[in-house]
Structures are given as C-alpha cells and as structure tokens.
C-alpha cells in the first residue's frame, strides 16, 4: 500500500506537492469515490482517476536540458510564451521540469515524469547542490562575498551558506564573473542575493545540477540521462555522496 499522492507522483501526474493539491481539491477518485484526505493509501488493484482520467503508470524518463534564455520552465504559460515542453515535441510521456530556472536564466534543468525523483531533487532537506555562473555589475569586495557565503537575509528568509568563487574581474566594464553554489531553490534566489550586495546580475547560467552539467550541449539541446546518472543523483540526495 502506498500513499495516494506518492502513487500520483510516481505515475507522472505531477510532483508530489502538486498531487497533494489535486487531492485536496477533490479532483482524485479511488474506485469511483472522491478522496480528499492526504493520508489515504491505495494498492495496485485500486482504480485511481484524476479529473476523470484513469491512472496509467508510465515508463519513467529523465532528460537533461540546456535551457536557453527566454524560455519558461513550466509546462504551460498563460501569456503564451515558449516553455521547456516546446523543446520536447516528440516525447509522449507527460514530463515536467524538476524545479525551475528563471526566464532570463540559462543552463541545466532536468525534465522527467517521475514525481518521486523530482521531490528528491528539489526539497531543500536533500541538499542537492546547484552551481551557477553569474556575470554581475560591479566588483564585490571580500566582505560582500563573505555575506554571500554565510547567508543573506531575504524577505522570505535567510539563505543557507553558499560556496562562492571569484572567477574574473573586468575593471574596464566594472563587472565580475562569479561562481556560486547553493542547495536551495527560493524564487530568483541567486539574483536576489547579488542584488542584496549591490551587484545586480547581468547574465546567469546554471552550470551544474548535482553531478550533471551542460558539458557537450548547446543552449536548447537535450539528452537522456543515463541510468547511472539517475542512480547517482538518487544516491546523492539520500546520502550526500556520489554513488
């Protein structure tokens, strides 16, 4: 027996959190009866429907996408803008992005239909590290960089410690290239962190997500993650170490 929201997530309906929202909203039926209690458990013999459509377990797929700037990291957009799904026209499974990247941010994003995997990758308690390369206006000093490293007070809470490394400085244009690694996923977090030290981001790219990188890909390219890469990511989330 498994919790209903976990079953929905494993079937690729949505992430676990979104699945919980669907249940509470009364959009899920078990054996013809609407279920709104999150603790409900179901077995493989139970008939589960979401918004009138019977649940059919999909084969899990995992893709690494090098998201270009100017693409929305959602499955749809009310303004009609291009989304990451538009870069996967041939994929039959109902994939969705693991976490998000801002419209103006490029780089690594994982696409899957495995809600459980998505939960492991995105919940802060699992500490999956994401490395970004930021081009910022201004040249932050040692004290400013230390603030990034120890934590910045944002309106939605203090950021966790980060690893920060100055890559290069351009005194002529008064800008700097800085590497920053975090394990959280607050909305526009990296940009807000640099805003807080007075060095707004001019360009931002996520270079790595856990153990996977954009190496060998151009913006807009995607490839399937290998079974070994998926296993490594799971182990990393569960143990904090590469398997």
* CA triple 54-22-51, angle to 5 deg: 35
Query: Out of 76, 77, 86, 102, which one is annotated catalytic?
Result: 102
Which tokens belong to 175? Answer: 């800008």
Closest CA to 179 of 167, 192, 171: 167
Closest CA to 14 of 3, 24, 6, 26: 6
> Is 102 among the residues known to form the active site?
yes
167 in Cβ contact with 203 (< 8 Å): no
List, in order, residues 6 or more apart from 242 with CB less than 8 Å away. Answer: 211, 232, 235, 236
As annotated, the active-site residues are: 102
């Amino acid at each position: 027996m498994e919790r209903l929201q976990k079953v929905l997530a494993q079937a690729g309906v949505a992430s676990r959190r979104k699945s919980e929202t669907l249940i509470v909203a009364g959009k899920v039926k078990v054996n013809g009866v609407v279920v709104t209690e999150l603790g409900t458990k179901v077995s493989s013999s139970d008939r589960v429907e979401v918004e009138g459509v019977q649940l059919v377990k999909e084969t899990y797929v995992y893709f690494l996408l090098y998201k270009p700037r100017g693409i929305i990291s959602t499955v749809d957009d009310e303004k009609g803008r291009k989304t990451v799904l538009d870069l996967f026209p041939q994929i039959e499974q109902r994939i969705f992005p693991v976490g998000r990247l801002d419209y103006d941010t490029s780089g690594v994003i994982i696409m899957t239909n495995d809600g459980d995997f998505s939960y492991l990758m995105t919940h802060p308690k699992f500490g999956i590290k994401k490395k970004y390369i930021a081009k910022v206006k201004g040249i932050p000093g040692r004290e400013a960089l230390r603030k990034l490293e120890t934590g910045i007070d944002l309106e939605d809470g203090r950021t966790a410690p980060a690893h920060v490394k100055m890559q290069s400085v351009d005194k002529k244009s008064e800008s700097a290239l800085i590497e920053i690694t975090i394990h959280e996923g607050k909305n526009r977090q990296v940009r807000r962190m640099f805003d807080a030290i007075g060095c707004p981001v001019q360009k931002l790219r996520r270079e790595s997500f856990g153990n996977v990188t954009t190496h060998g890909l151009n913006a807009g390219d995607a490839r399937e993650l290998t079974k070994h890469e998926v296993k490594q990511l799971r182990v990393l989330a569960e143990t904090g170490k590469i398997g």
